[in-house]
Amino acid sequence: MTASWLKAATRRWRGRTDGDAAEDTQRAALQRFRTAVQDGLSGDERSLEELLQMPGEIGLTDEEVELEVEMIRGALDVLSLRERVAHEGLPILEHQHKVLGTDRCHFRCSAFTVDEGGNRTGRLFLTDQRMLFLASPVLAVPWNAIASVEDDERDIVVRTVTLGVAYRFHCNAFSDARCGAFIAQTLKQEGRAAL
C-alpha cells in the first residue's frame, strides 16, 4: 500500500475528494500570490513586473487575480509618474472648469466621498493652489490647510490642519489613488517650500 493511496482513501473517508485537494492547492496559490503582492507593492519596477508574471507561473486565472493585478499596475504607474516628475515636473492638464479659475491643474479623476449626507459623486482636481472636489456642494481646501495626504487602496485620504477634519475620496482605480496621492504630496511640499 502506497502513501498516496492511503492519503486519497483518508480524504474520501473524511468526505473530501481529489477535487477538494485541487481547490486547496489553488487556494494556497492564490494566498501566496496575495501575500507576495502586499509585500511587494513598494518594490521597484523589476520586482513589480515579476509579480505580474507570477499568476501565470503558479496557475492562477486572470479573474482570480484581477484586483491584485490592478494594484500592481497602480504601483507601476506611480513609479513611472515619479520618474517623469523628477525629469519634467508635474503634469499640467487642460481644463475648462470656471471654478478652477486660473489655477494650473495637475491631476483630475472621478471620485466619490462618503460623509454625513451620504455618497457624493464628483471630480477631484489637484491644482497648484488647492484641492477641489467638484460636487454639490463644492469642496475647496488650500494646500496650506492640508496636514497630510495618503493613498489607501483606491482612496486618497486628506487630513487637514483642523483637528478631526479629514476627507476620503474613493477613486475608480488604484492607479488614480496612487498617482493622485503622489501629486498631492508633491504640491503640498512645493507649497511649503514657497512659504
How many domains does the chain fold into?
2
- Regarding whether 184 and 131 lie in a shared domain, the answer is yes
Assigned domain for 92 exists: no
User: Of 18, 52, 87, which marks where a domain is finished?
Assistant: 87
pLDDT tens by residue, 62-100: 999 999 999 999 999 999 999 999 999 999 998 888 888
Pure H helices in 58-195: 66-88, 174-194
- Regarding whether 158 and 125 lie in a shared domain, the answer is yes
Tell whether the model's pLDDT for residue 160 goes beyond 70: yes
Burial 168-179 (b: 16+ CB within 10 A, else e): ebbbebbbbbbb
pLDDT tens by residue, 90-144: 999 988 888 888 999 999 999 999 766 668 899 999 999 999 999 988 999 999 9
Tell whether the model's pLDDT for residue 2 goes beyond 60: no
Lowest-pLDDT choice from 72-76, 169-173, 188-192 = 188-192
Phi, then psi, of 161 in degrees rounded to 5: -70, -20
DSSP 61: -
User: Of 38, 68, 87, which marks where a domain is finished?
Assistant: 87
* Residue matched to cell numbers 466619490: 112
- Regarding whether 106 and 47 lie in a shared domain, the answer is no
pLDDT of residue 195: 43
pLDDT tens by residue, 27-55: 999 999 999 999 998 899 999 999 999 99
- Regarding whether 107 and 78 lie in a shared domain, the answer is no
DSSP 103: P
- Regarding whether 118 and 180 lie in a shared domain, the answer is yes
d(CA 102, CA 110): 21
**Sheet of 146-152: strands edge to edge?**
139-142, 130-134, 118-127, 105-115, 166-171, 155-160, 146-152
Torsion angle (degrees, nearest 10) of CA 53, 56, 57, 60: 120
- Regarding whether 181 and 147 lie in a shared domain, the answer is yes
Assigned domain for 122 exists: yes
pLDDT of residue 95: 81
d(CA 184, CA 193): 14
User: Of 37, 61, 87, which marks where a domain is finished?
Assistant: 87
Q: What is the mean pLDDT of the chain?
A: 88
pLDDT of residue 150: 96
Tell whether the model's pLDDT for residue 159 goes beyond 70: yes
- Regarding whether 73 and 25 lie in a shared domain, the answer is yes
> Residue 184 belongs to a domain with what CATH number?
2.30.29.30
pLDDT of residue 173: 95
For residue 110, give the 3-state DSSP assignment. Answer: strand
Domain coverage including residue 12: 3-87
pLDDT tens by residue, 144-156: 999 999 999 999 9
- Regarding whether 111 and 146 lie in a shared domain, the answer is yes
Assigned domain for 182 exists: yes
CA 42 to chain centre: 12
- Regarding whether 104 and 79 lie in a shared domain, the answer is no
Assigned domain for 93 exists: no
